[in-house]
């Protein structure tokens, strides 16, 4: 069914009958399962996958590998069978290892994709539940609110101020107002089908209930899916830089190799042998495995982040995390627990205390310690009525059978916004019969809450009587009130009473309470307009409610950790300034000399003023989402790398503009998640700090294996280069060079990729995002260690050769063993950004295992007789091993000692 035309001009009843679904209970799970089997998952077909075979063949695509294979073929034809077979075997093993790495990297990226798959709110078996959007079937009843992506093609059953942005399908970027009513004609274009919603379009305002008409590739989006599918994989800045670096390295390696070959031939070496050595050297020296190892290190790091509840949506952000200098965090839910409890109510000028904790319904209203019931205070009754009726949350009873005694334990859970849940709990504590109240007062209309207008209202009706009930931020709502419930009567709002209400609001806020005001308006006769701007006026103020939202306990510590790591934390909240300041103090965000700025201040500030002040501002209060973008830009203009959290639709621009956009996994809207680079599975600030730590350590690890691989390559090239220049015989034969590349380079480098973070990871300032990979000592390490490894290997070779000039194979074995061993010692040096002496060598188990297995394999090719002719080795004596061990330990130890000198440290690290 690709033509939806015929759903447009029929009543919802008819649509529901066709799909055999009751809009009050939704489909039964068993029926939904049956339909899912029949029509398949609600997914757009994936783009083309690279087949594993292609991936495997790609491993041989490398030009130098092809040259090597050709050269080996020639040597095979010339009768050097063992050499040819051994070289081919190594090339194949290398390719298989590369293939395995790439498949692994690809898989982990796939897992990432699944983690950020969309979900939908669906009515099944009479209860609302969140499930993967892929499980939707035609006939499902879905709920939508602002910020949701529409999960399938749907027909609306009920809408409240619903606007949908359909540019993905129609190109029209202005949101379209939707309706549940049938249209007169069915032959209207897509953009005019006002009672239909389409997969992939976005709810920007309002709420809706709808029934699914079509899913998956049968949706309008499915029909054009092939047009928009892109298979681009995003590279991180580092990966891009490495790609460029790779080209330079290839050029340098080829040049040096050519030089080695030419000098070798000039010194009388056999041209053919020199050529083969040269090609092997080029293959070994070109770090072709680097990109795959980087991807694996990133992917493994990302998995560690997932374990710490941070879900990376955009791979480049892993690197940017390590550069973050400012975190701009929402207050509610991120810094606080989002577990609200009303503790104070102010009605008819009386301040009441509300007892009880959490969402438990035991509690009472106390006035000066004495219980106050709603029949004693009509204002309190009206306040609670508004609180309950101007409310979209639900209190759900959960009965758990506890232990063997089968004692029933009742707990209450909130379905919906915690702020509203807290109001329901307060209503219940006051003795309100929630269900009866909701049944008696029919809701006619809702003007939904939105963080820009900071209030909501509903129109309710009972027996011909109509009222508008409103709740919202006190400073906003009180403005709209012309009357006040005062001394049991409705009286005009005098300036004195207005000031009194605002002062009470301040007083509650200074107790770190989050406040709401309540107001209403009665209508007589018909309602002239349907617009909120005209209806939400001339209200009667009833009172205030203050609720606590305790800070998350662990956040204080995390903020301190960030400060030590040179990262400033800034609070951005829609809440009142006094409340924000009280909580910011408790959490240690507000520093001595730090500024607090409100949305209004921001409005009056010019860009340049903000840019100048932004350094000193710790708290932004009563801001609208639009302000967030300005804050990000002002910080960025000062050179900051900004992480910014957000959850609503209007937060998306700021999240996108931030260097690291962060969305909330639990309370965040689809739109904010899509705009983000990172999603917090638990909405918790601490997770941001954890992600930054992981981000830093991932980058460190990448630097570690780069310094390992490149220094090893410098060593390998230098051995051959120095020997050829000095007119010595060949210190290494081709197969040995390839072996070093395969066995010594790969595994230890991978193990460095999972190295545990250094202790000082969060005790140093953030990395400059423009910093080169070789900065802070890595370039120095590569050159010095590479040079020393080359020199000592040639030295050991030359000593042995001069002792036994007619036993070249022995000297070559020594050179081979020294080169391998010195890299295996050096690998421990790479673990620290200082020297080998700064970390415990046995801490990284995979590395220790990798080194042990590399040593065992080396011993194998030296002592196992059948392999000796293949690898051109002879058994070494203990004395010779002493030489090997000494020559391979020295480069790392000498360089480490020298680098430990304060002067050298200052020179390298600045």
Q: Tell me the closest approach of the beta carbon of residue 141 to ligand ATP, in angstroms.
A: 24
Give the total residue count for the chain.
910
Q: Does 451 bind ligand ATP (CB under 6 A)?
A: yes
Q: Tell me the closest approach of the beta carbon of residue 330 to ligand ATP, in angstroms.
A: 4
Among 456, 478, 655, 743, binds ligand ATP (CB under 6 A): 456
Q: Does 618 bind ligand ATP (CB under 6 A)?
A: no
| CA 172 from centroid of its chain's CA atoms | 30
d(CA 255, CA 516): 73
CB 429 within 8 Å of CB 356: yes
Q: Tell me the closest approach of the beta carbon of residue 858 to ligand ATP, in angstroms.
A: 59
Q: Tell me the closest approach of the beta carbon of residue 849 to ligand ATP, in angstroms.
A: 47
Token output for 688: 């941001």
CB 146 within 8 Å of CB 205: yes
Stretch that binds ligand ATP, among 139-147, 227-235, 241-249, 447-455 (CB under 6 A): 447-455
Token output for 792: 């000592």
DSSP bridge pairs for 154: 197, 212
**CB nearer to ligand ATP: pick between 291 and 646:** 646
Q: Tell me the closest approach of the beta carbon of residue 491 to ligand ATP, in angstroms.
A: 25
Q: Does 645 bind ligand ATP (CB under 6 A)?
A: no
**CB nearer to ligand ATP: pick between 578 and 813:** 578
DSSP states of 269-310 as a string? --HHHHHHHHHHHHHHHS-TTHHHHHHHHHHHHHHHHHHTTE
Mark residues 525-564: x for contact with ligand ATP by CB under 6 A, - for none: ----------------------------------------
**CB nearer to ligand ATP: pick between 99 and 620:** 620
Q: Does 454 bind ligand ATP (CB under 6 A)?
A: yes
Q: Does 339 bind ligand ATP (CB under 6 A)?
A: no
**CB nearer to ligand ATP: pick between 157 and 602:** 602
DSSP states of 668-695 as a string? --HHHHHH-SEEETT--HHHHHHHHHHH
- 518: helix, strand or coil: strand
Closest CA to 771 of 656, 641, 576, 886: 641
| CA 832 from centroid of its chain's CA atoms | 27
Among 320, 419, 672, 822, binds ligand ATP (CB under 6 A): 419
Mark residues 564-603: x for contact with ligand ATP by CB under 6 A, - for none: ---------xxx----------------------------
Among 62, 214, 220, 330, binds ligand ATP (CB under 6 A): 330
For 159, residues 6+ apart whose C-beta sits below 8 A from its C-beta are 178, 179, 180, 206, 207, 208, 209
Q: Does 332 bind ligand ATP (CB under 6 A)?
A: yes
420-459 burial, b at 16+ Cβ within 10 Å, e below that, comes to bbbbbbbbbbbebebeebeeebeeebbbbbbbeebbbbbb
**CB nearer to ligand ATP: pick between 121 and 304:** 121
CB 355 within 8 Å of CB 364: yes
Among 455, 508, 555, 706, binds ligand ATP (CB under 6 A): 455
**CB nearer to ligand ATP: pick between 293 and 571:** 571
330 is catalytic: yes
- The single residue of 62, 153, 330, 700 carrying the catalytic annotation is 330
Q: Tell me the closest approach of the beta carbon of residue 574 to ligand ATP, in angstroms.
A: 3
Question: For residue 152, how many other CB atoms are within 10 A of its CB?
Answer: 27
Stretch that binds ligand ATP, among 327-335, 531-539, 787-795, 898-906 (CB under 6 A): 327-335
Stretch that binds ligand ATP, among 14-22, 65-73, 471-479, 613-621 (CB under 6 A): 471-479
DSSP states of 444-494 as a string? EEEE---TTT-EEEEEEEETTEEEEEEEE-HHHHHHTEEEEEETTEEEE--
DSSP states of 542-568 as a string? EEEEEEE-PBPTTHHHHHHHHHHTT-E
Q: Does 145 bind ligand ATP (CB under 6 A)?
A: no
**CB nearer to ligand ATP: pick between 328 and 372:** 328
Inter-CA distances, 565 with 306, 326, 559, 775, Å: 22, 11, 10, 19
Q: Does 449 bind ligand ATP (CB under 6 A)?
A: yes
Q: Tell me the closest approach of the beta carbon of residue 229 to ligand ATP, in angstroms.
A: 35
Among 205, 218, 331, 839, binds ligand ATP (CB under 6 A): 331
Token output for 244: 């460029």
Q: Does 514 bind ligand ATP (CB under 6 A)?
A: yes
For ligand ATP, which residue has the nearest CB?
574
Stretch that binds ligand ATP, among 395-403, 470-478, 530-538, 552-560 (CB under 6 A): 470-478
Q: Tell me the closest approach of the beta carbon of residue 391 to ligand ATP, in angstroms.
A: 8
- 48: helix, strand or coil: coil
Site size toward ligand ATP (CB under 6 A) is 19
Q: Tell me the closest approach of the beta carbon of residue 538 to ligand ATP, in angstroms.
A: 19
**CB nearer to ligand ATP: pick between 155 and 471:** 471
Q: Tell me the closest approach of the beta carbon of residue 516 to ligand ATP, in angstroms.
A: 5
Token output for 736: 């040995």
Token output for 77: 């034809």
Phi/psi of residue 361, nearest 5 degrees: -90, -5
d(CA 469, CA 471): 7
DSSP bridge pairs for 205: 163
Whether the CA torsion 192, 197, 198, 203 is positive or negative: it is positive
Residues belonging to the active site: 330
Interacting residues with ligand ATP (CB under 6 A): 330-332, 417, 419-420, 449, 451, 454-456, 471-473, 514, 516, 573-575
């Amino acid at each position: 069914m690709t033509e939806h035309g015929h759903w447009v001009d029929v009543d919802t009843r008819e649509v529901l009958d066709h799909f055999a679904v009751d809009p009050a209970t939704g489909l039964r799970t068993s029926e939904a399962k049956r339909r899912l089997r029949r029509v398949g998952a609600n997914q757009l077909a994936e783009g083309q996958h690279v087949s594993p075979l292609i991936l495997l063949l790609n491993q041989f695509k490398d030009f130098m590998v092809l040259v090597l294979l050709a050269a080996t073929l020639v040597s095979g034809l010339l009768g050097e069978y063992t050499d040819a077979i051994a070289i081919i075997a190594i090339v194949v093993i290398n390719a298989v290892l590369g293939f395995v790495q790439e498949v692994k990297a690809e898989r982990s990226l796939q897992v990432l994709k699944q983690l950020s798959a969309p979900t939908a709110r669906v009515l099944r078996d009479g209860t609302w539940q969140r499930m993967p959007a892929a499980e939707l079937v035609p006939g499902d009843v879905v709920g939508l609110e602002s910020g949701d992506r529409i999960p399938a093609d749907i027909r609306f059953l009920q809408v409240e101020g619903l606007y949908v942005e359909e540019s993905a399908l129609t190109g029209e970027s202005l949101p379209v107002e939707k309706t549940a009513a049938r249209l007169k004609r069915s032959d209207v274009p897509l953009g005019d089908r006002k009672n239909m919603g389409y997969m992939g379009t976005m709810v920007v305002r309002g709420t809706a209930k709808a029934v699914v008409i079509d899913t998956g590739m049968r949706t309008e989006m499915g029909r054009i899916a092939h047009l928009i599918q892109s298979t681009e994989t995003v590279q991180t800045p580092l990966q891009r830089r490495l790609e460029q670096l790779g080209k330079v390295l290839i050029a340098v390696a080829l040049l040096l190799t050519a030089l080695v070959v030419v000098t070798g031939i000039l010194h009388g070496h056999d041209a053919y042998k020199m050529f083969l050595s040269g090609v092997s050297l080029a293959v070994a020296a070109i770090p072709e495995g680097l990109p795959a190892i980087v991807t694996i290190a990133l992917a493994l790091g990302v998995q560690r982040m997932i374990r710490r509840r941070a879900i990376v949506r955009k791979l480049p952000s892993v690197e940017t995390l390590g550069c973050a200098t400012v975190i701009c965090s929402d207050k509610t839910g991120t810094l606080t627990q989002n577990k609200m409890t009303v503790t104070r109510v102010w009605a008819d000028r009386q301040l009441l205390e509300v007892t009880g904790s959490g969402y438990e319904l035991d509690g009472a209203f106390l006035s000066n310690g004495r219980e106050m019931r709603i029949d004693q205070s009509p204002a309190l009754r009206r306040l609670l009525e508004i609180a309950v009726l101007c409310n979209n949350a639900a209190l759900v009873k959960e009965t758990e059978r506890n232990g063997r005694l089968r004692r029933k334990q009742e707990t209450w859970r909130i379905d919906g916004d915690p702020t509203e849940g807290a109001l329901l709990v307060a209503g219940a504590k006051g003795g309100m019969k929630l269900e009866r109240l909701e049944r008696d007062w029919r809701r006619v209309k809702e003007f939904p809450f939105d963080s820009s207008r900071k209030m909501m209202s509903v129109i309710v009706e009972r027996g011909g009587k109509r009222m508008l009930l409103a709740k919202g931020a006190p400073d906003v709502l009180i403005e709209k009130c012309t009357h006040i419930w005062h001394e049991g009567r409705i009286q005009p709002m005098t300036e004195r009473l207005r000031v009194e209400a605002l002062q009470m609001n301040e007083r509650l806020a200074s107790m770190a309470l989050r406040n709401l005001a309540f107001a209403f308006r009665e209508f007589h006769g018909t309602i002239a307009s349907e617009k909120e701007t005209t209806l939400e006026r001339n209200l009667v103020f009833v009172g205030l409610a203050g609720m606590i939202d305790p800070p998350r306990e662990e956040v204080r510590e995390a903020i301190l950790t960030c400060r030590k790591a040179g990262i400033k934390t800034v609070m951005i909240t829609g809440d009142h300034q006094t409340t924000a300041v009280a909580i910011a103090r408790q959490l240690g965000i507000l520093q001595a000399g730090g500024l607090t700025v409100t949305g209004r201040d921001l409005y009056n500030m010019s860009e340049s003023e903000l840019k100048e002040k932004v350094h000193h501002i710790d708290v932004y209060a009563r801001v609208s989402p639009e302000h967030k973008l300005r804050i990000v830009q002002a910080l960025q203009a000062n050179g900051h790398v900004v992480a910014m959290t957000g959850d609503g639709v209007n937060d998306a621009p700021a999240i996108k503009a931030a260097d690291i956009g962060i969305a909330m996994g639990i309370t965040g809207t689809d739109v904010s998640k899509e705009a983000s680079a990172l999603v917090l599975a638990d909405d918790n600030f601490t997770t941001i700090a954890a992600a930054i730590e992981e981000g830093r350590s991932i980058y460190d690890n990448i630097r570690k294996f780069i310094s390992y691989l490149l220094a090893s390559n410098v060593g390998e090239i230098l051995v051959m280069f120095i020997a050829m220049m000095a007119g010595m015989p060949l210190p290494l034969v081709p197969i040995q060079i390839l072996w070093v590349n395969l066995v010594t380079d790969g595994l230890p480098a991978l193990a460095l990729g999972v190295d545990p973070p250094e202790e000082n990871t969060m005790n140093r300032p953030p990395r400059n995002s423009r910093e080169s990979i070789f900065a802070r000592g890595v370039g120095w390490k590569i050159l010095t260690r590479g040079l020393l490894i080359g020199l000592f290997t040639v030295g050991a070779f030359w000593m042995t050769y001069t002792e036994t000039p007619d036993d070249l194979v022995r000297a070559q074995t020594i050179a081979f063993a020294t080169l391998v061993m010195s890299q295996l010692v050096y690998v421990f040096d790479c673990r620290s950004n200082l020297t080998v002496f700064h970390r415990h060598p046995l801490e990284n188990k995979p590395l220790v295992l990798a080194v042990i297995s590399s040593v065992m394999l080396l011993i194998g090719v030296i002592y196992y007789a059948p392999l000796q002719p293949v690898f051109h080795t002879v058994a070494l004596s203990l004395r010779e091993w002493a030489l090997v061990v000494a020559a391979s330990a020295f480069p790392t130890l000498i360089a480490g000692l020298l680098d430990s000198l304060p002067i050298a440290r200052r020179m390298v690290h600045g």
